[in-house]
Amino acid sequence: MTQTARETMTQASFPGNPDAEGSRPATQSVAAGHPAPAATGTSTLNPFALRIAEQFRSETYRPTLVPGLARLMDFLLLVAVGSGATMVLEGDSLAAWLRFAPVFTGGALLAVLFLQLADAYQRPALKGVRRALMRLLLAWVLAFALATPTLILLPSEQGPPLRWLAAWLCGGVLMLCFGRVALSAAISRWARKGQMERRVVIIGGGEPAKGLIRALEAQRDGDIRICGIFDDRRSDRSPEIIAGYPKLGTFAELVEFCRLARVDMLIIALPLSAERRILTLLRKLWVLPIDIRLAAHANNLRFRPRNYSHIGQVAMLDIFDKPIADWDSVAKRIFDVTFTLLALMLFWPVMIAAAIAVKFSSPGPVFFKQKRHGFNNEEIEVLKFRSMYTNQSDPSARRAVTRDDPRVTPIGRFLRKSSIDELPQLFNVLKGDLSLVGPRPHAVAGQTADRTYVEIVESYFARHRVKPGVTGWAQINGWRGEIDSDDKIRFRTAHDLYYIENWSLWFDLKILLLTPIRLLNTENAY
């Protein structure tokens, strides 16, 4: 159902061929998006829903990250104990470390594997140290017993070092226990502050919503925080208070509420028979960077078990998943920072030369700052080298730069054609506003002709479900530069959505490597 719904919406919104090939890079886009209500400072939310949304503005740690964090912590602690024991007892020579490294690294991996098999990374075990203590000790002793015999196979005149073995065994026990106590305390602290929870909005009221809420509240060790309920029906069919939770507004207000609040999941509490109503909702909601689920616990229709996900024991049908979430987002952030630092080390002479050229070519600042749409339609301030005369600059980008535009300085024309003017956006990447690869950010107030992009492409805002990028799939396929026709924004958006649905680190690397090659074609760069 998820794939079918996504394909139907995409095909309906983007006519033409979304895979058209081109030859121009992703560095300059004077296109602009239409600001969401949250970005403009005005609100169509009712005052009560607005107050609730403000209470959920703070960031949270997704609970799904914690098991992976625990695995990484256990592995690093055991490796650290093995390294420390080697340096203290066997000398700090490289030869000694290389001799023992395979043993304590392999033992740490085995310990993590056995802890996984023993369910020591489940939420109850992570929250309560006493529950997991025996599992920790048994898993570590078993891993130690399997790893240490390999020392006999290593060249040594004195045989297996008993002191080192004892230090690694006892040190491993202490560090595993210490790590779990610290992690359990951190989880409790995050939970008390509301920083570790999945914030949920229920869509639909009445008895289905009431039954869903009761089922969610019955889950042990739950991490669900219900923010409220949205429903279009009148109070006689859908009460204002359902199972103790308020009805915050109508479906028309839901998207803006989710833009303002840090909502993690939408759960549709409607029967599967309400297909038309569900599809109408999904056409509005899929532009949000949020997990969307259909409550299946009360539906009589049954699918194969693999079609369901669960919140505790409550069955859900997955409709949409938040793209690039959890450990994928961590991996992408590491990718961004690593390659951005490499790029800065490589291009810093070019950036200094460009800054000097801009400063002495015409009066005004070196950098140009522009408000653009970022993740989830939030406004970000993007840096560029100034390429226009200061008194003729257009921060709003309502008037796109055209070929031989008199507002562009001579040095600015070169910077734009070579895309050197975009290099300061590397600092936006380090700040976290941009990613190296993603949909190009469009100016908040820009438009094509007399229409905003969202008026041309119904699902335009779906491209904001991930962070915008310095370069992107649309740009290396030729959709770069001025947007002077409806088809250009349609094809750009189609390529952006293709990137989001097919994201991987390899895809990012491919786009990054192709970007300098496509920079050689400057047909639409002006």
What CATH number corresponds to the domain at position 240?
3.40.50.720
Secondary-structure breakdown of the chain: helix, strand, coil percentages, each rounded to the nearest 5: 50, 15, 35
Q: Are residues 227 and 312 in the same domain?
A: yes
Q: Residue 124: which pLDDT band, with cuts at 50, 70 and 90?
A: confident
More confident site: 65 or 335: 335
Residues 150, 163 within the same domain: yes
CB distance 81 to 88 below 8 Å: no
In a domain, 481, yes or no: yes
Rounded CA gap, 481 and 488, in Å?
10
Same domain, 349 and 485: yes
Which residues does 426 contact at the CB level (< 8 Å), separation at least 6?
340, 343, 344, 347, 470
Name the pLDDT band for 120 (thresholds 50, 70, 90). confident
Cα–Cα distance measured from residue 78 to residue 72, given in angstroms and rounded to the nearest whole number: 10
Q: What is the pLDDT of residues 354-392, one digit of tens each?
A: 999 998 888 888 898 888 888 988 889 999 998 888 777
* Closest listed residue to residue 294, CA positions, set 193, 384, 208, 395: 208
Q: Which one, of 410, 491, 482, 408, lies nearest residue 457 by Cα?
A: 491
Task: With cut-offs at 50, 70 and 90, classify the pLDDT of residue 27.
Answer: very low
- C-alpha Rg value of the chain to the nearest Å: 27
Around Cβ 149, how many Cβ atoms within 10 Å? 10
Domain boundary among 320, 340, 357: 320
Alpha-carbon distances, residue 110 vs 100, 114, 386 (angstroms) = 16, 6, 55
Assigned token pair, 402: 């055209």
- 174-220 pLDDT, tens digit per residue, is 999 999 889 888 888 887 777 788 899 999 888 888 888 888 888 77
Pairing of strands 379-385, 367-373: antiparallel
Residue among 357, 424, 364 nearest 390 (CA) = 364
Q: How many residues does the chain have?
A: 526
Tell whether 367 and 445 lie within a shared domain. yes
- Distances in Å between the alpha carbon of 503 and those of 30, 122, 332? 25, 28, 10
Question: Rounded mean pLDDT of the chain?
Answer: 80
pLDDT (0 to 100) of residue 352: 93
**Which is more confident, 60 or 69?**
69
Range of the domain at 87: 65-192
* Model confidence at 33: pLDDT above 60: no
Q: Which secondary structure element, helix H or strand E, spans residue 200, and what is its range? A: strand 198-203
Kindly state the DSSP code that residue 268 receives in the 8-state scheme.
E
Q: Sign of dihedral through CA atoms 20, 440, 363, 343?
A: negative
Assess if residue 365 is contained within a domain: yes
pLDDT of residue 79: 93
287 and 337 fall within a common domain: no
Residue 52, domain member (yes or no): no
Assess whether 332 and 313 both reside in one domain.
no
Pick the more confident residue, 248 or 150. Answer: 248
Handedness of CA 143, 148, 149, 151 (dihedral sign): positive
Examine residue 209 and state whether it is found in any structural domain, yes or no.
yes
The answer to whether the beta carbons of residues 32 and 445 sit under 8 Å apart is yes
Task: Tell me: pLDDT of 424 over 90.
Answer: yes
pLDDT band of residue 297 (cuts 50, 70, 90) is: low
379: nearest Cα among 438, 433, 452: 433
487's CB contacts (< 8 A; 6+ apart) are 16
Token output for 129:
């140290």
The per-residue pLDDT for 160 is 56
CA distance 293 to 318: 5
441 and 467, same domain (yes or no): yes
| 356 and 497 together in one domain | yes
Structure tokens, 119? 């369910």
Domains contained in the chain, number: 3
In a domain, 344, yes or no: yes
- Provide mean pLDDT across the span 11-34: 33
The last residue of one of the domains, among 320, 350, 366, is 320
Residue 10 covered by a domain: no
Evaluate whether residue 244 is within a structural domain: yes
Contacts of 507 (CB under 8 A, 6+ apart): 437, 473, 499
H helices present in 319-466, as ranges: 327-361, 410-418, 425-431, 453-456
Question: Last residue of some domain: 305, 320, 335?
Answer: 320
Strand partners, 81: none
Q: Quick one: 480 and 425 in the same domain?
A: yes
Residue 40 in any domain: the answer is no
* Residue of 201, 199, 209 lying closest to 271 (CA atoms): 209
Buried b (16+ CB within 10 A) or exposed e, 192-203: eeeebbbbbbbb
Q: Is the pLDDT of residue 269 over 70?
A: yes
The Cα–Cα gap between 422 and 515 comes to 13
Same domain? For 97 and 133 the reply is yes
Where do we find the tokens 């951190």? 186
Are the CB atoms for 469 and 514 separated by under 8 Å?
Answer: no
Phi, psi of 373 (to 5 degrees): -80, 130
d(CA 526, CA 516): 17
Q: pTM for the complete prediction?
A: 0.79
Residues 187 and 207 in one domain: no
Cα distances (Å, whole numbers) of residue 201 to 198, 248, 377 = 10, 10, 19
Q: Same domain, yes or no, for 425 and 378?
A: yes
Sequence-separated (6 or more) residues with CB below 8 Å from residue 250: 230, 231, 232
